[in-house]
Amino acid sequence: MQQKIVFIGGPGTGKSTILNELMGNGHTCMPEISREITLQAKKDGIEQLFLTDPLLFSQKILEGREQQYIQSNDFNTDVVFFDRGIPSVHAYLRYFKTEFPAVFLEKSKQYKYTKVFQFLPWKDIYTSDNERYETYEESVIISKFLHDAYTELGYHIIEVPFGTIKERYDFILNSL
């Protein structure tokens, strides 16, 4: 049975860096899709879709993550790594105090992950950019909302220790 491994954590915690390292070493990975949606919205004239219409943005994220999950079943591999998972969507909506339809929780219950690795906020590596508008302090709060969303669904969270890219990479692979 294929293992579906999800990385969670606030912005700027190193998830994508480790995912890129895994991809570079031949592992099957599903990258974060929110940047694509944000960039497409900017092309359409909406500077920050999440801030302008958080529910529409989140619906697009939910659809994209559901498609990634389904697509992962077609891969002939024992392990697939995901940069964020379906429950992360309603965690963010809760963080922003945005009401959301029941389908967000239903999808989170329908599509289950094998293991959840949480990357904790780490001030030494945090950077902001054109698509990441959250401050480090906001990343700390978001991290708690993510942790709560996954534990409410019954997941055991594995915290990824701070360290070099290789140390974090090795920790994850040794924890499978």
Q: Look at residue 84 and tell me whether its pLDDT is greater than 60.
A: yes
**What sign does the CA torsion over 106, 176, 116, 59 have?**
negative
Q: Look at residue 112 and tell me whether its pLDDT is greater than 70.
A: yes
Distances (CA, A) of 103 to 24, 33, 63, 67, 110: 35, 19, 11, 15, 10
Q: What is the pLDDT of residue 88?
A: 96
pTM score, whole prediction = 0.91
Q: Look at residue 107 and tell me whether its pLDDT is greater than 80.
A: yes
Q: What is the mean pLDDT of the chain?
A: 90
Q: What is the pLDDT of residue 104?
A: 96
In this structure, what CATH number is given to the domain that contains residue 124? 3.40.50.300
At 93, which amino acid appears? Answer: L
Whether the Cβ atoms of residue 5 and residue 150 lie closer than 8 Å to each other: no
What's the number of domains the chain is made of? 1
Classified as helix, coil or strand, 49 is: helix
Classified as helix, coil or strand, 165 is: helix
DSSP symbols for 94-151: HHTT----THHHHHHHHS--SEEEEEPP-TTT----SS----HHHHHHHHHHHHHHHH
Q: pLDDT of 35-76, one tens digit each?
A: 788 777 777 776 676 667 788 889 989 999 999 999 999 999
- Give the Cα separation of 4 and 79 in Å (integer): 6
Q: What is the pLDDT of residue 132?
A: 54
Q: What is the pLDDT of residue 68?
A: 96
Q: Look at residue 151 and tell me whether its pLDDT is greater than 60.
A: yes
Range of the domain at 134: 3-174
